[in-house]
Structure 1
Amino acid sequence: MTTLEMEKGFQEIWKLFAETDRKLKETDDKIEKLIGRWSLFVEGLVVPAAKRLFRERGIEIKHLSQHVDVSRDGQEGMEIDILGVNGEYAVLIEAKSTLGVHDVDEHIERLKKFKTFFPEYSDRKAIGAVAGIVIRKGADKYAYKKGLFVIAQSGDTVTILNDMHFKPKEW
C-alpha cells in the first residue's frame, strides 16, 4: 500500500467520522425535541388539576402560571415549570415525564433560591411539588421525606400521592 493510498484511506475514514458525528447530533436534537414535548404533555395534565389538588389540601391557588423564567443582575436565571400563588403561598411545581431522585434534588435547590430570584414573593411561604408520569423507584418517598408534594398520574388525570396528614416543608 502506497503513502497516497494510505492518505486516501485516512481521508475516507475522517469523512465517515464526520458523517457519524452529524447523524448523532441530528438524533440528539430529535430526542431533545421529543423530551420537550413530553414535558409539555405532563404540564398539560398538571395545570388543569393544580388548583383543585391544592384546594383539597387547604391551599387556595389564586394565580397559576407556566414557564415562569427570570434572571437577576446578570446571574444565572431560574425557570419554574408551574407556579401557583395566593396571599400566603407560592407553590413551585416541577413537571417531568420521568421523575427521579436527581430531579427532586434539583427542585429543592430551586426552592432554596426562589426568594432571591423572586423577591416579590418574599412574604410568601414557598412550598414545592414534583410531578411525573413515570416515577422512578424511591423518588416519590424521597420527595415526600424532603417535604415536597408528589403528583402522579391517576387514570385520565393526576393526584397528590401524599397522605392528608402531610405537612410540606416551607422555604
Structure 2
Amino acid sequence: LKADHVKDFLEKMKDFPLFFRRYAKLNIYGAVAALRTEQQSERFAEKQGLFVIKIGGDGMTEILNPPDFRAKNFGAEG
C-alpha cells in the first residue's frame, strides 16, 4: 500500500454517493487492504478516516487502526 493508492481510493470515495444515490444518505465508511504496506501510508490512510487492513499469512487479516480510531463518514450525512 502506497500513499498514491490511498489518494486514488479517496477520490473514488468522494464520488461514491454521486454515482450510487441509493446509498448517499447512509453512513459510508472506507477501508484499504493490502498484503504489504508502508508505515507512512498506513498513517496517511488512517488520518484520512479510512480503516487500514493488513492481510497476513493463512488468510488472516488485521485491522491496524488503534482502538480509539474514528472512521470518516463519506456519505451525504457525514
For Structure 1 versus Structure 2, the TM-score category normalised by the shorter chain is 0.7 to 0.9
Matched, 1:161 2:61: no
Q: Aligned-pair distance for 1:122?
A: 1.3
Matched, 1:112 2:14: yes
Q: Aligned-pair distance for 1:155?
A: 3.8
Matched, 1:139 2:15: no
Question: Which amino acid is the alignment partner of residue 105 of structure 1?
Answer: K
Q: Aligned-pair distance for 1:144?
A: 0.6
* Residue aligned with 2:16, SS: helix
Q: Which has the higher helix share?
A: 1
* Residue aligned with 2:35, SS: strand
Deviation digits for residues 117-142 of structure 1 (CA, Å, limit 9, x no counterpart)? 10010121111000000112411011
Q: TM-score, structure 1 length as denominator?
A: 0.41
- Structure 1 residues 143 and 114: CA distance shift in structure 2, 3 A: same
In 1, Cα distance between the equivalents of 2:55 and 2:48? 21
Displacement over 4 Å in runs of 4+: none
Query: Contact between 2:35 and 2:56, CA under 8 Å: does it hold in 1?
Result: no
Deviation digits for residues 24-75 of structure 1 (CA, Å, limit 9, x no counterpart)? xxxxxxxxxxxxxxxxxxxxxxxxxxxxxxxxxxxxxxxxxxxxxxxxxxxx
Deviation digits for residues 127-164 of structure 1 (CA, Å, limit 9, x no counterpart)? 10000001124110110111100000244211110011
Match of 1:102 in 2: 4
In 2, Cα distance between the equivalents of 1:124 and 1:170? 9
Deviation digits for residues 77-129 of structure 1 (CA, Å, limit 9, x no counterpart)? xxxxxxxxxxxxxxxxxxxxxx1100101111111100111001012111100
- Please provide the CA RMSD for this pair: 1.1
Q: Which has the higher strand share?
A: 1
Match of 2:25 in 1: 123
Higher-Rg structure is: 1
- Structure 1: runs of 5 or more not aligned: 1-98
Residue-pair matches, total: 73
- The share of aligned pairs that are identical, in percent, is 36
Which structure has more RCO (C-alpha within 8 Å, separation ≥ 6)?
2
